[in-house]
Structure 1
Amino acid sequence: MAVVDFGIAALASVLGEPRDVAEEARNHGANPHVVATMGFRTVHKAPAGTTTTAFGVAAARTALDKAGLHLSQVDYLVVVSSNVPEYLQWDLSAAVARDLGLRDVPTLSLAQGCLSAVQAFEYIAGLFSIRSELQTVLLVSAELICEEHVNRLGNGTNADSDGAVAVVLRRGHTSLRWLASEQLTDPAYADFFRLEYGGRAAPTPPPGRSNRGIDPARAIFDFFEGAAQPFAEYARMTDARIADAVDGACKRAGMERSDLTKVILLHSNQVTLRRVADVLGVPLDRTNAALAAKLGHFGGLDPLVCLDIYTDRGTFTPGDNVALAGMSSGLHWFCTLIQV
């Protein structure tokens, strides 16, 4: 049994405008053959001038409406975003609270890469455990790509989308209940996927350089000094550790991997998703691979967007066990289990 009893009263997603991946690849100068192998068909882009804050607020308002709750019933706000922030030395959770109209409600900002949105359930479980007065926690995850720093299709592994999801979590809610979460970390690879310029170490790039010119996959290959075998072993290890995280969460919940109805993963390319499905020992159609191809990669909120879509479709039946899992920069592997 979970140490504290809470569940999802409502979910709501706000997505950017859908764009054809093949056309966007031409616009972004990406290799069309590489893009074709990724298997993404659609990427979602926010309208010009839209902010991460605005996307998060829109998703939050819709989720509260779906739950039939007033803003005054929110006891705690948790906001997640792992992309380039709107401003430095600035708190997104406070900005979302301000624009929502929340007053005197504590907030928490999480920015631990793609781990944060799914792992937030464990942090929220802690809040419910130590704050007996909490009845409703609003979780908001918003990701907008900053194209001055990141090429949406430039690294040949993902098609990065813009979007937000909000989750209304209620103490004692009997459906979509949190069961357990697990996180694994290997800090040996802490520098993988980082942006080189804009932080304190290198506030500005040297002439002729930019973050957009960095290929994360190439940086990883260089880490292994171009040796193909260690690079391949690293790739196999990253897939295997997703399975380890899923098994760890299942152990905490007193179940087996075979008890899972669905495994919802981060929206990697189709090649990676097939590999992970094989490692997990589940058919590809018991993952979210088909949705990933239609949506693009929204960072850490991928599994929550899929959970929202599947819930609206009526995909699940009461008692189904669903795993939300993936890998994040850091490196981290994570899994949260939800029971429908």
Structure 2
Amino acid sequence: MTATDGIGIVSLAHVLGEPQDVVETAGTYVDDPERVIRWGYRTYHRAGADQTPTRLAADAARRALDKSGLAPADVDYLVVADSGVPEYLNWDMSASVARELGLGTTPSLLVSQGCGSAVTAFQQIAGLIAVRDDIHNVLLVAVNKVSEAHINRMRNNTCLGSDGGAAAVVRRGHGRLRWLATEQISDPRYVDFFRIEYGGSSVPVAPDGTGNLAVDQLGLVHRYFRREPEQLAQFVKDVNHRLATVVEEACRRAGVATSQVRRLIYLNDNQHSMADVARATGIPLERTNAELSVGLSHVGCADQLICLSIYDERQDELGEGDVVALAGLSGGMQWFCTLVRV
């Protein structure tokens, strides 16, 4: 899908939980802290008990609205992307954020497709604006708060989980940070990777003596390939190959060369993975978000918007006409890329 009427980002903002030192705290989460320290993260962010995902999302949204000069009444549509465990079951977080912001009867949409939720939402927003001539300003909010009752932030995968939110005011016809294209690749064979085992309708209560924190998520991945070790090796290769492919396909869809991508903002992965991503895509490591990842850690679906917000605040970081790729992967498995032009 390509833009017809066109959308661009008017303003960006983000909020983070309190910074925590990885070296000082890793031992409270895992019994092999050196493994986590070798990932290269310096800091992660942990939100307090009163900083619910709704409040993190609303705080980021207020900052973005203030920067844009808009009031809540100027928002025509709200899109909320959440990659964490929901605050409640059978409950709509987008409506909760709308209530927190005082949006009244403004329509809202909840997107919960893991770490790809916010980046892929741009094509939904573009489609919405294409078919609704009464929608001009869309507020996109992304949030992630690690539920430590369900997930060990240092043992869920090879990223270190972090808490925070980001928001973008997206406007019809705005010429800066203009959306160019979004592309996705799915491989449903791996839909069960990294799922939270207990608490859903299939297994609402964990068996006695166990629980979600006792589940070795990476071990589940290895067990999936236990009879086909060569398939595990191929899967590891495919992860970065498909990322490179999805970036290339987004560029093809937008009519730009991959060499024109000035900045690749990937999820805030560990430094080893960031180097692998740079090699796979051919984009130099210094033109990725590797240096931001060290201090932010993985804020779920908010990663790309947080990094874009930081780069946009820095002088001379992004030049007029630069193409920026917002890319990553999520459980499912989903690879995704959205391109914007500064």
- Normalising by the smaller structure, the TM-score range is over 0.9
User: Is 2:32 the counterpart of 1:26?
Assistant: no
Once the two structures are superposed, what CA deviation does each residue of 1:168-199 show, in whole Å capped at 9, x if it has no partner? Answer: 00111111100000011011111111011000
Compute the TM-score of the two structures, normalised by the length of structure 2: 0.97
Task: Select 1:318's aligned residue among 317, 320, 332.
Answer: 320
- CA distance in 1 between counterparts of 2:233 and 2:271 reads 18
Q: What secondary structure does 2:85 align onto? A: coil
Q: Contact 2:20–2:44 at 8 Å: present in 1 too?
A: yes
The match for 1:86 is 87
Q: Contact 1:259–1:321 at 8 Å: present in 2 too?
A: yes
The match for 1:332 is 334
- CA distance in 2 between counterparts of 1:98 and 1:309 reads 28
- CA distance in 1 between counterparts of 2:210 and 2:233 reads 29
Q: What secondary structure does 1:261 align onto? A: strand
- CA distance in 1 between counterparts of 2:233 and 2:294 reads 24
Aligned partner of 1:223: which letter?
Y
- CA distance in 1 between counterparts of 2:319 and 2:274 reads 24
Compute the TM-score of the two structures, normalised by the length of structure 1: 0.98
- What is the identity percentage for the equivalent residue pairs of Structure 1 and Structure 2? 48
The match for 2:153 is 152
- Please give the residue correspondences for 1:6-21 in structure 2 after superposition, counting only pairs within 5 Å: 6-21=7-22
> How much does 1:4 deviate?
2.9
Q: Contact 2:157–2:194 at 8 Å: present in 1 too?
A: no
Aligned partner of 1:337: which letter?
L
**Higher mean C-alpha deviation, range 72-81 or range 208-217:** 208-217
Q: Contact 2:16–2:163 at 8 Å: present in 1 too?
A: yes
**Higher mean C-alpha deviation, range 15-24 or range 211-220:** 211-220
> How much does 1:29 deviate?
2.7
- CA distance in 1 between counterparts of 2:233 and 2:42 reads 27
The match for 1:295 is 296
- CA distance in 2 between counterparts of 1:212 and 1:311 reads 38
- For structure 2, list consecutive stretches of 5 or more residues without a partner in the other structure: none
Q: Contact 2:136–2:171 at 8 Å: present in 1 too?
A: yes
The match for 2:115 is 114
> How much does 1:155 deviate?
4.0
> How much does 1:226 deviate?
6.2
Q: What secondary structure does 2:38 align onto? A: helix
The match for 1:59 is 60
- For structure 1, list consecutive stretches of 5 or more residues without a partner in the other structure: none
Once the two structures are superposed, what CA deviation does each residue of 1:309-337 show, in whole Å capped at 9, x if it has no partner? Answer: 00001310100000000111111000000
User: Is 2:150 the counterpart of 1:143?
Assistant: no
- CA distance in 1 between counterparts of 2:5 and 2:154 reads 41
> How much does 1:28 deviate?
1.3
The match for 1:197 is 198
Q: Aligned-residue CA RMSD in angstroms?
A: 1.1
Number of residue-to-residue matches in the alignment: 340
